[in-house]
Amino acid sequence: MVNRRLLTTAGAAAVLTLTVGVGSAAGASHTVMNLRLNEAAGATVAHDASGNGNNGTIGKRVAMNGSYARFPYADPGATYGRAQLITIPDDSSVDPGRATFTIELRYRTTHAYGNVLQKGQATSAGGQVKLQQPKGKLTCMFKTPVGRATAGSGTKRLNDGKWHAVKCVRTTSSVTMYVDGVRTGHSDHNTGNLDNSLPWTIGGKPSCNGTTVDCDYFDGDVDYVTFTKG
């Protein structure tokens, strides 16, 4: 894939942050995507405030209110497709690659299921990264043919209707999660080169049929999204 965008060091006052690692030749960290998700009602584009052009397409079922994105309830067997998601196109700048990759987000929900964020699915060539909340406990997983590493929110259930700031840090040999500034999980595993051709999606799976492949739609609010490499 061709990297179409220059990396910048734009900040993120209100952003779901993904810090995405580059190779050993990388220098300081770079914010490569910064979705503030503060678009007005009726908006169709979530603008990337980092200046790198990694904008997201807002599905028609996702409600914007000038402050955050609201993902509505969807029946487990429903198949709304990308109407239920915010979709960020694939680009080499937002592929995790081999090294440090940090995900930070702020969200709230009262439901105990759903995929909050992902790139790739179970059988995707090039690997998968996914933040999901089975039984209200958030987990952050990185998987490639080389191996899998998962860190979670520990015993803490996050489906209490309160805002929670989450940070997931993936290095060449580990994944660590922090919730509201406190370390809650860690796993030491090498996950190799995570680089697939699928989009990032907020709110569920981009490809599903509700029967053999559940859509795992997220029901709740997401306040910001940011990706950073290095």
Measure the CA–CA gap between 19 and 101, rounded to whole angstroms.
4
DSSP state of 125: T
Question: Please, what is the average pLDDT of the chain?
Answer: 89
Which pLDDT tens digit goes with each residue over 19-72?
A: 444 343 445 899 999 999 999 999 999 999 999 999 999 999 999 999 999 999
- Contact 2/92 with Cβ under 8 angstroms? yes
Which pLDDT tens digit goes with each residue over 81-103?
A: 999 999 999 999 999 999 798 89
- Domains delineated in the chain: 17-229 (2.60.120.200)
The answer to pTM > 0.85 is: yes
Measure the CA–CA gap between 218 and 222, rounded to whole angstroms.
10
Q: Which of 149, 124, 92, 105 is nearest to 206 (CA)?
A: 124
Torsion of CA 105, 108, 110, 116, to 10 degrees: -30
H/E stretch holding 19 reads: strand 17-19
